[in-house]
Amino acid sequence: MANWTNEAEAREQIKTLVAEYYHDFKEPMESKENFKPGDRVSYASRVYDEKEMQSLTDAMLDFWLTTGRFSKEFEKNFAEWIGVKFAHLVNSGSSANLIAFSVLTAPELGERQIKRGDEVITVACGFPTTITPILQYGAVPVFVDVTIPQYNIDTTQLEAALSSKTKAVMIAHTLGNPFDLKTVKAFCDKHNLWLIEDNCDALGTKYTIDGVTKYTGTWGDIGTSSFYPPHHMTMGEGGCVYTDNPLLNRLILSYRDWGRDCICVSGQDNMCGHRWDGQFGLLPKGYDHKYTYSHFGYNLKVTDLQAAVGVEQLKKFPGFIERRKHNWAKLRSSLETVQDKIILPVPAENSDPSWFGFLISVKPETGLDRNSVTKYVEEHNIQTRLLFSGNIIRQSCFDEIRGTDAYRVIGNLENSDYVVNNTFWVGVYPGMTDTMIDYMAKIIKEAVSR
């Protein structure tokens, strides 16, 4: 048996062994230094070392399986880093979007409460879970088109999308490239609309308005992030909802934690000293405040095991951002020689993107076919992805509501359809080396030049 004198010593010895395990068995597998052209190039992958494994082990030894000390540490550090007052972990980026929208349906918001039939402006070209909560709550998404080569909202359509029922704008930043926040925020301020920034694909992107630079996700009323493995940093699963608004913060906690009225965290009781003297709904006076529910909520908390990984990932995150920028710029420079055949991505004005991927649209007038290009690229062991749903109203999930008043469309969504037919993307994640980027560029150029 191990000769441990106390628990602290035992923990340190166990974590030392975990580090040795990483270096002996995991580090060689994760190393990209021996990459040879033709080896697999994934569009994304986790990037970690022994620190994440040690932190995960530390949480496992606590055996506090729900939200706990690591979650609190991450939320505090993340809020300070991104520049908001309040940040709360959830179990996925999709859940973050669900919570962000749910809180805007709360009666505490008075005239600004989103009710059934109210409208929310969004884009047709994006990820489904940006719009799913809108439909689930009986609100009406109003779809506008995107621009190319930014692949973000066409802000010239905002006024046409506005109606007396409009209550919010909920849109995502596309693959790290921010939408025109200056115009969108001015539009929301002018018409007293909520702004939800789906920041799941753009964590670490900076945007400047009138000389003020902030991270995306912090310009609107609520921001959301995802920590799924392909994203900018990972917890395996996980997400975050953040805001500067104290009322929205209180609502986020309620909807995330079963819809309850009490703000005591798990394992804490009677923090306010009034657990048994309140009056809620039609309940008898003094009903236990731990079991009073002011909203129809969920349990979408993260586990402390996930948060423990995130604590160490956040420390590495600035380096991740810089490597993503480097990889994106190198790939773009390499592909400039085939601009007559493909459309290369362009950063939004006033932005400093933290890139999630590298978007490419083939020019059909040259005779190129997107599927033939991606097939060639994939045959050479390079992973490709499409721009999520493309034009989402063409997806089969719309079959039962297509042509109904469950949603509205502005214009003909011409660019969203262009994306469906001609656009794909490849990765620039921080685990990629220059050799991998060079190989990708070579194969893409071959694919469009055959």
- Which amino acids are annotated catalytic? 231
Closest CA to 225 of 238, 243, 244: 238
Token pair 């166990």 is found at 14
Closest CA to 149 of 297, 353, 449: 353
Closest CA to 50 of 8, 11, 29, 21: 21
Closest CA to 362 of 341, 340, 378: 341
3-state secondary structure 77-104: HHHHHHCCCEEEEECCHHHHHHHHHHHH
Q: Which amino acid would we find at residue 66?
A: T
Return d(Cα 211, Cα 232) in angstroms, integer: 26
Identify whether the C-beta of residue 49 lies closer than 8 Å to the C-beta of residue 19.
Answer: no
Instruction: Kindly give the interhelix angle for 304-335 and 69-82, rounded to the nearest 10 degrees.
Output: 40
Closest CA to 304 of 8, 89, 1: 89
Return d(Cα 25, Cα 22) in angstroms, integer: 5
From its phi and psi, is residue 125 left (phi > 0), alpha (psi between -120 and 50) or beta? beta
State how beta strands 342-343 and 119-123 pair.
unpaired
What lies within 8 Å, CB to CB, of 1 at 6+ separation is none
* Beta strand segments in 91-139, E: 119-123
What is the C-alpha R_g of the chain? Answer: 24
- What are the beta bridge partners of residue 241? 88, 224
Phi, psi of 238 (to 5 degrees): 135, 160
Please report which residue ranges of 137-245 form alpha helices under DSSP H.
158-161, 181-191
